[in-house]
Amino acid sequence: MIPAAFDYHRPQGIEDAIAILQKHGDDARVIAGGHSLIPMMKLRMAEVPNLVDLQDIESLKGITIQNGRVNIGAMVTQHELITNEGLAAAAPIMREAALQIADPQVRYMGTIGGNVANGDPGNDMPGLMQCLDATFTLFGPDGARGVKARDFYEGAYMTERDDEEIMTAIHFDASTAGYAYEKQKRKIGDYATAAAAVMLTKDGQTCSSAAIALTNLSDTPIWSQGAGAALIGTDCGPAAIKAAVAAGLDDIDPSEDNRGPIAFKYHAARMMISRAIASAWARA
């Protein structure tokens, strides 16, 4: 459990960080909280000759909420997501989900940027970003560009981000929608066996908008348009939930692991989707 030797860089600004990435190409990786990368390095599944630590870059920190838009710096920790009252008001699903990630010690270090950018299908925030229809800012040699979360993930650990780009911020609209993040896991610190993020608005007793996203049920986070569509215009009653679940299950492709066989993954997905819808509807 000892990583191969590496050089450690600690740039003070984002341009400096990009310059290091440009210089070393494939031989450099940025590190945020380190809770994904360091274990991979210790297992020698990732070899990183040049490690670029982002923690001194002030522009990557802080949460602002302006004109109904939430902006979160990539280096904001899970702990900050939980304790920021403005965020809790503007997007309460963030706190609900962050509280289900790992344990307090990990959350003091783990960042939203690392969680979102790594492309690990087990991470919770990518699914949440689908649900929130977030936009990611990627900063590279040619400056900044925005990418929709729903367009970002290509496969396990494969994303739209170029090697010379760094994710700097995450943006989404504040929302008063009913929300829920339901996660089944074996124990504290585990990835989801299955998890569902749901946000709903209602007009009277009719569902007027719905976003449903799923975690660790495919090699990427799944935004299930079909599941959301199945709820819109309904009363979110048993028949509607059943239709949404069926649509959601159509969109996933889980694999067997120690959390259970594929049939169980489908079953767990069914439970998480239906529970999250019921809970979000009650809060809408």
Partner 1 sequence: MNDLSPDRAERSAKLKGLGHSRKRVEDQRFTQGRGNYVDDIKMPDMLFGDFVRSPYAHARVKSINIDKAMALPGVIAVLTAKDLEPLSLHWMPTLAGDKQMVLADGKVLFQGQEVAFVIAEDRYINADAIELVEVEYEELPVITDPFKALEPDAVVLREDLAGQTSGAHGERKHHNHIFLWEAGDKEATEQVVETADVVAEEMVYYHRTHPCPLETCGCVASMDKVTGKLTLWGTFQAPHVVRTVASLLSGIEEHNIRVVSPDIGGGFGNKVGVYPGYVCSIVASIVTGKPVKWIEDRMDNLMATAFARDYWMKGKIAATKDGKITGLHCEVTADHGAFDACADPTKFPAGFMNICTGSYDIPVAYLGVDGVYTNKAPGGVAYRCSFRVTEAAYFIERMIEVLAIELNMDAAELRAKNFIRKDQFPYTSAMGWEYDSGDYHTAWDKALTAVGYDVLRAEQAERVEAFKRGETRKLIGIGLSHFTEIVGAGPVKNCDILGMGMFDSCEIRIHPTGSAIARLGTISQGQGHATTFAQILASEIGLPADSITVEEGDTDTAPYGLGTYGSRSTPVAGAAAAMAGRKIRAKAQMIAAYLLEVHDGDLEWDIDRFVVKGAPEQFKTMAEIAYASYNQAIPGVEPGLEAVSYYDPPNMTYPFGAYICVMEIDVDTGTHEIRQFYALDDCGTRINPMIIEGQVHGGLTEALAIAMGQEIAYDEIGNVKTGTLMDFFIPTAWETPTYTTDFTETPSPHHPIGAKGVGESPNVGGVPAFSNAVHDAFRPFGLRQAHMPHDHWRIWKIGNDLGLHDDV
Q: Which residues bind partner 1 (CB under 8 A)?
A: 1-2, 4-5, 44, 103, 184, 186-190, 193, 258-261, 263-264, 266-268, 270-271
Q: How far is the CB of 65 from partner 1 (least distance, A)?
A: 31
Contacts of 175 (CB under 8 A, 6+ apart): 90, 91, 132, 199
CB 53, min distance to partner 1, A: 20
Q: Cα(first)–Cα(last) distance of the chain, in Å?
A: 47
**Nearest distance, CB of residue 122 and partner 1, angstroms:** 10
Answer yes or no: are the C-beta atoms of 17 and 166 closer than 8 Å.
yes
Please identify, using beta-carbon distances, which residue of 159 and 184 lies nearer to partner 1: 184
Q: Which residue's CB is nearer to partner 1, number 4 or number 158?
A: 4
Closer Cβ to partner 1, 20 or 240, answer by number: 240
The C-alpha R_g of the chain, in whole angstroms, comes to 19
* Distances from the Cα of 25 to the Cα of 37, 42, 53, 262, angstroms: 17, 21, 16, 38
Cβ proximity to partner 1: between 11 and 110 the closer is 110
Shortest distance (Å) from residue 108 CB to partner 1: 16
Place of tokens 């990611």: 136
Question: Min. distance of Cβ 83 from partner 1 in angstroms?
Answer: 20
- By beta-carbon proximity to partner 1, the closer residue of 30 and 41 is 41
Q: What b/e sequence results for 204-232 when a residue is b if at least 16 CB atoms lie within 10 Å of its CB, and e otherwise?
A: eeebeebbbbbbbbbbbbbbbebbbebbb
Cβ-based burial of 201 (10 A; exposed 0-12, middle 13-18, buried ≥19): middle
